[in-house]
Amino acid sequence: MCSSDLEANVDIDTNLYRVMVSNQGANVRSWMLKKYRGNDGKLLELINTSAGSKIDPPMSLYFPAQKPASDLNHAAWKQTVDPDGLGVTFEFSDGHTAARKTFRFQKNSYLSQMTAEVRVDGKPIPAMLDWRAGFGDLTIPSPSSDEQVLYFDVAQNKLFTNTVGSLKNGNLTAGGNFSFAGMADKYFAAVFLPTESSAMQVATLKDKARTPADQAEVDFPSLAVSDGEVNHFEVFVGPKDLNLLKSLNPKMEQVVDFGWFSFLAKPLFLLVNWFNGSFIHNFGWSIVIVTVAINFALFPMKLSNMKSMRKMQALKPQIDAINSKYKGISMRDPKAQEKNQEVMDLYKKHGVNPMGGCVPMLLQIPFFIAFYKVFMVSVEMRGASWLWVSDLSQPEHLAIRILPVVMVASQFFMQKMTPQPNTDPAQQKMMMFMPLIFGYMFYRFPSGLVLYYLTSNLVNMGQQWFFNHTETAQQAALSVEPPKRKNGRK
């Protein structure tokens, strides 16, 4: 039934992607998403086109046991294109081996339908559909570190993932009732959903290949799946959009991995996404609004800390007196403990938290980690722009990145506005270097994360200015008893 040994490609063009399938192996040679671009600025190609001829293209056949004599992944198949141009049927026969594949795509959906079966002398043999040697945005440096094979076990109600590190002892296989199985990188996924039975076989394979960005070959996790003698799959190939995944299968939203901080990261993302979709229509300004709301929600706790810091500033003369009393003693001297106890008793008497200066930073850390995770996994943030920032999920594409520089300046202003009760020159010097250390760290962080932190600083500055100009600040200072003079008068 092989009409020709010549390669004949079929281009499937939809509103969302462009797919090229070939009769040589009845597999897919290109899968480009129209609404997304790779790190090279071109339309995103999800297939590793640099893998080389030794590795079979996606949707080739993988045989876990018996392998037919004919090399089906390189043989010429007879192809029949559907009248509307959105589907292709491939057939092969050499008298002993017979095989059939169908591909059916949709004009406005990332979901497609695929079937595959192989028979030898009329009897079906196990055959799996695979996706090998890389998936997703392969134009970034070291893409293999972000890639994984995943499957959802219905019995355990749990998503399992395999990475390159999981393959130290060779290929892995799993079988059971799975809702889906697939490949994923940080922002995109290729997921196979069984249509006739949830009983699936999943193989995680290891391939060595180079990529368009890296010339040296590296190890990739690869996927092979089957749901019976005749494979019937719905296949989702597209962005890890939370709402889109959930609409296909409620369990598929777990493909977006918010990590161990998901209890905060996911609500933050949903809140920012809601503001963006319902009102603002810009992720940058949505982040600003959510950040302002968070800081005002935390203001009661910060107000208590501001009072404590003002009291510590007012207690400075008494702290200086204690330091003078124990001047010259070493840290190992038993009197050093007496000195610390006097200081702590003084703080306790006036309701001062000596760690109060760390509270604003400690309050921000959970949200900082959560936002960091949001930018690492949310495809909605990928490519989102704000003012001069072209992509909030990446550092600014400027010679000098403006947001980190402004953030460092805001840190210095915050220090000037905040009461500084500590008189230790060494500690004061260290505190002066803190904004520069933060600037060095944030210079490489996603722009959206820097925008969050900068906005928090600006709100904190406004709240500190407001506190400094209220009677509450004066009352906090006056509530501290001034030191007594030797003549008994205050």
- Mean of the pLDDT values across residues 82-102? 96
Identify the sign of the CA torsion 252, 255, 261, 265.
negative
In this predicted structure, the answer to whether residue 424 has a pLDDT above a threshold of 60 is no
Contacts of 433 (CB under 8 A, 6+ apart): none
pLDDT of residue 79: 94
Written as six digits, the tokens of 426 are: 């060494």
pLDDT at 2: 42
Report how far apart the first and last C-alpha atoms of the chain are (Å, whole number).
Answer: 107
118 CB burial (10 A radius; 0-12, 13-18, 19+): buried
Q: What is the pLDDT of residues 142-194, one digit of tens each?
A: 899 999 999 999 999 999 999 999 999 899 999 999 999 999 999 999 999 99
pLDDT given for residue 340 in this prediction: 76
Averaged pLDDT for residues 204-231: 92
pLDDT, average across residues 448-453: 95
Tokens of 32: 């480009």
What is the number of alpha carbons within 13 Å of residue 260 lying toward its C-beta? 0
Tokens of 132: 């090998």
Residue 423 has pLDDT above 90, yes or no: no
Query: What confidence tier does 108 reach under pLDDT thresholds 50, 70, 90?
Result: very high
pLDDT of amino acid 477:
54
Alpha-carbon Rg for the chain, nearest whole angstrom, is: 31
Of 293, 243, 251, the closest CA to residue 268 belongs to 293
Residues 233-253: pLDDT tens digits?
999 999 999 999 999 999 999
On the 0-12 / 13-18 / 19+ scale of CB atoms within 10 A, 49 is: middle
pLDDT digits (tens, 9 = 90+) for 319-368: 777 777 777 777 677 777 777 777 777 777 776 666 655 666 677 788 99
Spatial contact of 318 and 483, defined as CB atoms under 8 Å apart:
yes
Q: Averaged over 438-449, what is the pLDDT?
A: 92
pLDDT over 90 at 90, yes or no: yes
- In angstroms, the CA 112 to CA 481 distance is 76
Confidence of residue 1 (pLDDT cuts 50, 70, 90): very low
Are 203 and 151 in contact by the 8 Å Cβ rule? The answer is no
- Mean of the per-residue pLDDT values of the chain: 87
Query: What is the pTM assigned to this prediction?
Result: 0.85
Residue 257's contacts (CB-CB under 8 Å, 6 or more residues apart) are 161, 377
